[in-house]
Amino acid sequence: MNITVIGTGYVGLVQGIIMADFGHNVTCVDIDEKKIKELEKGQIPIYEPGLEELLNKNISSKNIKFTTDLKNAMKESEIIFIAVGTPPALDGSADLKYVLNVASEIGDNLEKYTVVVNKSTVPVGTGKLVKETIKKQLNLRNIDIDFDVVSNPEFLKEGKAVQDCVNPDRVVIGYETKRSLDLMKKLYRKLEEKNIPFVFTNLETSEMIKYACNAFLAVKISYINEIALLAEKVGANTEEISKAMGMDNRISPKFLNCGPGYGGSCFPKDTKALVKIGNDFNEEMSVVNAAIYANEKQKLRIVEKIKKEMKGLNDKTIGILGLSFKPDTDDVRDAPSLDIIKELITNGAKIRAYCPKGIKEAKWRLKKFEKNITYCNDEYEVSTNSDSIILTTEWSQFKNLKFDKLREKMKDNFYFDLRNLHNKNPEIKKIFKYFATGM
């Protein structure tokens, strides 16, 4: 099939490359010329394991191409994916300007029946809004061309994007006509053959599913983080609590790891957007609201604990291990490390930070604080003259740290393990004043 994917961010790029790998003819469109040029050369602007190899394979087999020319790309397309960003507006709602701009451009250039698929996470009702926007442009052109809008939310996790797309837990398709449904089934035949479950529903339900899933997972994390705060006070062990909770198969063990709070491009943004949608329809999303509050509280509590244990932070040097919001990604959007670093600096600390992939992005996100941050070349460099280490992201390379080497150049020996990466390792407790989280 001929497919156009508009937007080469995380979602669009992965979708385009995987669809090409399924054997479709894919054209990826973006307004960023520099990015398109790099992609044509097989270079991806993000760090995502396995993606660049897959891109190069499909460039060689000519299944994928890149362009800034939407009009031309659309000509042959049976399906167009809208996968542009929906950044949060000031009031927490998802800003739809990019999605609607694309919809109106599609309306300006549509020449034959096409299915327009919303892949971006968008508020309930956006499918209908996209449809109206395209129709309006067709009316301005004084022509009547049939088209359908479909909602097909993305559930991929960063760092595991390729495997999530090739082997999703389910595919959700919100549709209005049989014609569009048949084309979507044809598009995903490879997944159907693998017995991946499909959910076919209306546009609004499909749009809600995405928010309901992400907000639920955020609630689950905030829940275990609050349990962890209480566990520390009463002398309980959150790891054992999570393990026992997870043995109840109604609860499931996943997303029950306590830590510094959730971050990334989805949970913070989607929880706030869901609360806003609730407000718009006069329905308070009180549980989700509480999860957002608990997530902010979590980061502050962690700094309070560090400050208390270290007897103040003024003029202390703190080594940070991990800046990205989770391992195997260079994404630092809404990473807990950012808020924690800002709070530590506000309390008088100096930072030495290292992250395998996140430094470049953290540098500009923490620009205002740059005079108090030294970025290091490896995990051992952060320890020079440091009073404490804080492990913020559980990159697997941190698991096998040589603790004595890390300790050598430190002034003091505090170690706060926000992800409980070393908790089972007795060695660390001999060398450091070690603080796990939630116990």
Residue from 157, 170, 399, 402 that binds ligand UDX (CB under 6 A)? 157
Binding segment (CB under 6 A) for ligand UDX, from list 73-81, 126-134, 231-239, 260-268: 260-268
266 assigned to active site = yes
Residue from 82, 117, 156, 227 that binds ligand UDX (CB under 6 A)? 156
- Tell me if 264 contacts ligand UDX by CB under 6 A: yes
Q: Which tokens in the block code for residue 351? A: 């930072």
DSSP category for residue 416: E
1 and 186 Cβ atoms separated by less than 8 Å: yes
Residue from 198, 200, 216, 255 that binds ligand UDX (CB under 6 A)? 255
Closest approach of ligand UDX to the CB of residue 329, in Å: 7
How many CB atoms lie under 10 A from the CB of residue 305?
Answer: 15
Closest approach of ligand UDX to the CB of residue 333, in Å: 9
- Tell me if 395 contacts ligand UDX by CB under 6 A: no
232 and 304 Cβ atoms separated by less than 8 Å: no
Nearest to 292 by CA among 377, 222, 194: 222
For ligand UDX, which is the closer residue by CB, 114 or 329? 329
For residue 174, give the 3-state DSSP assignment: strand
Catalytic residue among 258, 266, 355, 376: 266
Closest approach of ligand UDX to the CB of residue 267, in Å: 5
Task: Give CA separation, 394 vs 168, 259, 386, 401, 425, in Å.
Answer: 24, 10, 20, 12, 15
6 and 102 Cβ atoms separated by less than 8 Å: yes
Binding segment (CB under 6 A) for ligand UDX, from list 46-54, 127-135, 258-266, 421-429: 258-266
Closest approach of ligand UDX to the CB of residue 209, in Å: 11
Question: Does the CA dihedral 313-319-321-324 come out positive or negative?
Answer: positive
For ligand UDX, which is the closer residue by CB, 151 or 265? 265
What does the alpha-carbon distance between residue 86 and residue 89 come to, in Å, rounded to a whole number? 9
Lay out the sheet containing 64-67: strands in order across.
64-67, 25-29, 2-6, 79-82, 114-118, 147-151, 171-174, 198-201
Total interface residues for ligand UDX by CB under 6 A: 20
Residue nearest to ligand UDX (CB): 266
x/- track of binding to ligand UDX for residues 300-339 (CB under 6 A):
-------------------------xx-------------
Residues 48, 193, 54, CA angle at the centre, nearest 5°? 25
Residues 184-223 binding ligand UDX (CB under 6 A) are 214, 217, 221
What does the alpha-carbon distance between residue 43 and residue 51 come to, in Å, rounded to a whole number? 10
What does the alpha-carbon distance between residue 292 and residue 386 come to, in Å, rounded to a whole number? 32
Binding segment (CB under 6 A) for ligand UDX, from list 148-156, 176-184, 285-293, 381-389: 148-156
- Tell me if 256 contacts ligand UDX by CB under 6 A: yes
Binding segment (CB under 6 A) for ligand UDX, from list 192-200, 251-259, 276-284, 346-354: 251-259
Question: Does the CA dihedral 225-92-171-328 come out positive or negative?
Answer: negative
Q: Name the residues that contact ligand UDX, by CB under 6 A.
A: 154-158, 214, 217, 221, 255-257, 259, 262-267, 325-326
Which sequence positions are flagged as catalytic? 266
